[in-house]
Each structure stands twice: as structure tokens, then as C-alpha cells.
Amino acid sequence: MSATKSARFEQVLLAAVLSASCVAICSPSSVTADDMVAPLLLEGEEAEVEELALWALIERERYVRSREEAEKYLLDHPRSYVAHLVLGMAQHYGEANFPKALFHETRALDLFEAAEGVQPTPSQPWRWHARILVGLTRAHGDLEHYDEQLGFMYRYNELYTPQLKAELAWPLMKKRDFEKARLAAEDGLATGDPYQIERAKNALCAIEYEAGDDEKAYEVCADAVEYGRTHFGSATAVDLGNFAEAARSVFRFDEAERLLIDASKGGLSWYGNPWLELADLYMRAGRFAEALSALREVPRHRAARPAHVRDSDRNEARRSLAAFLLLMGRPDEALRITDKAAVLPDRRAHNSRDPEQDRSIVALLDRQARLMLAEMTRERAAAKAFHLRCWAYGQALWLRFEAWMSARQVARFLDDEARLVGTFALGTARSAVMPAWLLGELIGALGPGVVRAAVTEMRGADRRQGAAPYYDAVLAEVSLAQREYDEAIEHAERALRQLPPGDALLRERVRAVLAKALSDPRETTSLYEEVLGTDPGLFRRLGWALPVEVQSSDAEIDRVLAKAVMRSPRFERSGNGLRVQIDGGRICLFGRTGAAWGCSDAGVQEDETAESHAQRVLDSFHAAIFSPRVDLSRIDINSLDGSNRVTRNPLDMLLAP
């Protein structure tokens, strides 16, 4: 869940004019004609002309210029609390340097209170004091210092109006003090102020979601969206995204998709990215082309945000991109993404999720990518000489060791029992953004016994309608790992009967588990063939082989290719399997009914040896069979990584004390 920012412009009276003539106050130094504005002085805003000029730059969001001019001004006026406040605002909103912002705003508070006292009167420049306090609440909030943030909020409320009421709910919720957070939101609702009500409803949505009442969260999130539509003409993208998340938690995927599409059309939101959530939704459903289209929009949406919130979900985008690359059969590129995500976690101040859950997902994706790359390393050497195959086998072993190290990271992040158990409650706050199709990987990372115990405990506590097949899906894979084949079949069949279409990738994983557990090879082959139609990359991710019968001509190249196919970890010989036909240096896979699943496509190149040509043909065949049919040839991964209401101006304040 994401916090919202509302648009509200304070009603103020003109208190005084600095000069009867037009005076340049945009900068203490020389300015252009574009920088000339008429100076206005609000009540409690008394300051030097140069200081007002600095503040005018902040109000116009000219953060680089304001920082430069404030630094110059402080050289001659080191005790200017206005200049320090300006520097804090510039660092916060212009450069997203929250520690520096906190330093300068703390210094501004010390200087102000040394000069004017801790409780200024209406005859003093109180407005600067109020602005400093609000700046400190936001700096501490963005640094996730929730106790300090609440302290400054309470202090502000003792001195100034309008009070921060609904705003208290978010840091209280982050501290897991749900009762006090609810009371703060109720106080916001009681004000009758539409913007306080909007913020309170946003907070209640997150509070109930984080507290684990998913049905209640769905209701209050729906209420927040309806309130925005009724009172402002449209709901914010943040509220729509939060409602979509609540809808997913109760398995209403079609509704979640509609809400996210509305959010993507509703203008820029500071927090939350509807394109990112749409991409995840499409991946779950096996709609890879649509997922790619959504991922293309993610960096554009993020780049349009103000600097201080631009990186609030960059790591989440990396996680989603890494997942997509895995599904596309590009684990080497996925690893470059997970390596970044592992060392550069998101700022979570405006997101309600547990950061350790997010880190566990990144580590699990990293493990999956290394295992998949190990499989593909062996595939890429299947037609090569013996010593090169041995070298590839050694490389694959090393990748598996690295995957084991990533699994240790997963275990470390999930070492809390409540966090581990909650991970299996898909769609809830306890499970964070764990992809349903990835959940089974925890069996290999943690062990089937650990997973069985956690799933059994969570299943007993989960009362959501529609949750049962997800537990059956995991238990089917656990049973397979423990060689309890009859139990695996029972769980898998039950899951397949009840899983919704929106979780197509999970359905195919369960189908593959069922196929593996069956004793009849013809049934196994038939089910594997169904899996190929939706998620062909699953065989690589699981490290499983397709049963095939190889038929080839007597040509030398065809015999070489036939041997290479059977050395590939993707195939195993079976008289009841699919048919691999090799003729004229071309490899094709046919189903049991004669339907073609794909063929190699690799012509002879100049100066190419027979061995390298055979490997290229085999690589082309692997790609045709075990990669989704989505064209990624023109995709720049770096571009995907990102190497309707105007939000309220963060500087708007205040009535007199």
C-alpha cells in the first residue's frame, strides 16, 4: 500500500508588500527578466529581503538555484535560519538527499529557537517556525525515523493550525500501532475537511491491509476510491492502486486490472506505479506481451515524478523486471538486475510493506536465475567437444553453489516465524509481492519439511474465500519433493480445479508437478505438452527434461545433432514422449498428435566449424521450444530498468497560532 499526497491550497491574506514598485526578489544576485516577481509578505513571514528571495525560489521549485544562492548567503549570514531551511528544502525536494535536508532543517530550528524562543507569538515570525517543523516531519518520515516524525508532528499540533490529524496515521501504522493509527484516521475524518478525509481514507486502507483484515481492507479501499470520485471528480492513482492491491488479495484479478488501467490513465502519482503492478498481474496470467508493454511504461512514469520520490520504488521495478527476464529465458540479464537490487534497497517510508519480505523475493529470484543459467550453460555445450562439456558442467556446478548462497540469503530474510508463515498467504501484506509462480521455489531454498509446516499453519489461519487452491499448489510440490506421489496428485488435482485463470503460470507449474507425480508416461507427456503451450520456460526453471523420441536421417550433421539433443539436460529418451525430428540439419519438435511446437532456425555461417554450427542449431532449437513467443530482439534492458490531481505543494501552510 502507498501513501497519498493531496492537493490543497491554503487560503491566506495579503499582509504587506515589501515595496510599492516591482522589486526583484528571486535571487540575491543578478537575475533575468523571467526571474522578476512581485514580492508578497504573509503574516508571520518577516525576514530579510534576500531571505524572502531565497524562499521564493523554493516556492517556484527552482531547487538547484535556491541551493546555490542559499550557500552563498550563508557565507555572510551563518545564523540565517531561513537560509538553512531553504537548503534543507532544496536538498529534500530537489536532490532527494534526506540526511542533508535533516541536518539543515535541524540547524534552522536551533537557530530560530535561539533567536525567537520555542513558542513564537503571533507578533513574531512564527510562519518560519511552522515551516521548519513541517520540514522536519517530512525529512524524518522519508528517513523512516517514525518516532522522531511523530514527535515533531505532535509539537506542530500544539502550536499551529490546521493540525496534522490524518497525517499521524501513516507513521503510527508503520510502527505497527494499528489502534492508534485508526484513531488518528478517525480524527481526520471528523474534521470534515475533504483533504483530511481523503488522506484518512487512504491511511485506513493501508492500516486494514497491514493489520491482516483483507476483506475489511477491500471495503475501506473501495470507500477511498468512491470518495475521491464523488468529491474530486476522480480517485487518485494511489487510491486506485491500493484498491487494486486489496482486490488482488481476495483474488479479484479482473477488477484489479480495471482499477490499474484507470490508475494508469489518471495522471502522475508520487507513490505507486500502476504500470509496474499491471506488469506483475500480466505475468501471473501468462500474458507476456502485455507485461512487456507495461514494463516499457514503468521508467517513463517514474522519471516524471519529482526528484525526492523518483527512487521510492526503483528496486521494486528491478524485481519485476528480473522476474520478467527469467520468464523470457534470459537469466544472465536477470542476474545483472538482481545484483543491483540486492545492494540498493528501496526507501520504504511511503510503502507499507515489510522490507525483509521484499529482500527475500529478490534473493529467491537471484537463486532461480543462477539455477536457470546453470541449466542453460549445459544446454549451450551439449554439441561441443567432451572437454568443453566438462568445463560447462563445472561452470554449472559453480552457479549452483552461488544459488545455494542465495538460498541462504532467503533463509536469513525469512528467519522470523511470522514472516516465514505469512509468506504463503499470497496476496496479503504478509506475503508482500511474492509472485504466485515463484512460491514453489521456497521448497528448494528452505526444504520441503519447513515449507510444509509453514503452509499447514498458514492454511489453518487463512479464512479468505479462494485461498485454498494456493495452499494445495504448494503442498503438491512439497509432496513431490518428499516422494509422496499419491498425495502430490491429490493436492495438484484439487488445485487445478480451483485456481483462477489469472494465475495461469501457477496453474502450469501445478500441472507439471502432477505430470511428474503420475506413473503413466503417456499421461505425463500429455500434461507436459499442455505446459509447453503457456509456460515453456518452466522446464528450465525446474531443471526438468521433456520425454522425447529422437528420429533423424543418416546424414552426418543429423546424427551429430541427434546425439547433442540427447546430451541436453532438456530432453530424456522415452518411447511415449514427444517426437524430435532431425532432417537436413534442422531440428523440430512435434506433439503426440503431430502438432509442431517449433523448429531450429540457424543457417550455415562463413568460417564456421561443424561443431560450432551444430551448437548454434541446438541453441536455436532450445530457444524455439523453451522460451515464450515474445520478440525481445529490440529491447534495451537498461531502458526498462530506468538507468489527476496536482499534488498539494509541500510548502503550503498554516494559520496563525
Q: What is the pLDDT of residues 634-653, one digit of tens each?
A: 565 665 655 533 344 433 43
From the number of C-beta atoms within 10 Å of its C-beta (0-12, 13-18, 19+), residue 539 rates as buried
Q: Give pLDDT, residue 443.
A: 98
Q: Partners of 140 in the beta sheet?
A: none
Quick one: pLDDT at residue 272? 77
Region 1-164: CATH code: 1.25.40.10
pLDDT of residue 306: 83
Cβ pair 125, 46 in contact under 8 A: yes
Nearest Cα neighbor of 437 from 529, 537, 528 is 537
Alpha carbon separation from 306 to 5, 407, 638 (Å, rounded): 12, 37, 21
pLDDT (0 to 100) of residue 83: 98
In the chain, where are the structural domains located? Answer: 1-164, 545-643
CA distance to 108, 219, 368, per residue, from 407 (Å): 47, 37, 9
CB of 271 closer than 8 Å to CB of 245: no
In order, the DSSP letters of 363-411 are: HHHHHHHHHHHHHHHHHTTTTS-HHHHHHHHHHHHHHHHHHHHHHHHHH
Q: What is the pTM of this model?
A: 0.84
Q: In 3D, which of 198, 129, 193, 139 has the Cα closest to residue 171?
A: 139
What whole-number distance in Å separates Cα of residue 608 and Cα of residue 611? 8
Query: Which residues of the chain are modeled with pLDDT < 70?
Result: 1-40, 344-354, 632-657
Query: Is 656 strand, coil or helix?
Result: coil
Q: Residue 202 is placed in which grid cell?
A: 487512504
CA distances (Å), 77 to each of 51, 72, 80, in order?
10, 9, 6
Q: Please name the residue ranges forming H helices in 214-303.
A: 214-232, 237-249, 253-265, 274-284, 288-303
Task: Report helix, strand or coil for 516.
Answer: helix
* Predicted local confidence at residue 431, as pLDDT: 86
CA-atom Rg of the chain in angstroms: 30
- With CA atoms as reference, report the closest residue to 464 among 165, 311, 250: 250
Say which residue the cell 532450445 belongs to.
Answer: 622
- What would the pLDDT profile of 436-469 be if each residue is shown by its tens digit? 999 999 999 999 999 999 999 999 999 999 999 9
| Count of helices and strands (H, E) across the chain | 30, 5
DSSP per-residue codes, 476-507:
HHHHHHTT-HHHHHHHHHHHHHH--GGGHHHH
Residue 372 burial (C-beta neighbours within 10 Å; 0-12, 13-18, 19+):
buried
Task: Assign 30 to helix, strand or coil.
Answer: coil
Distance CA 589, CA 575 (A): 15
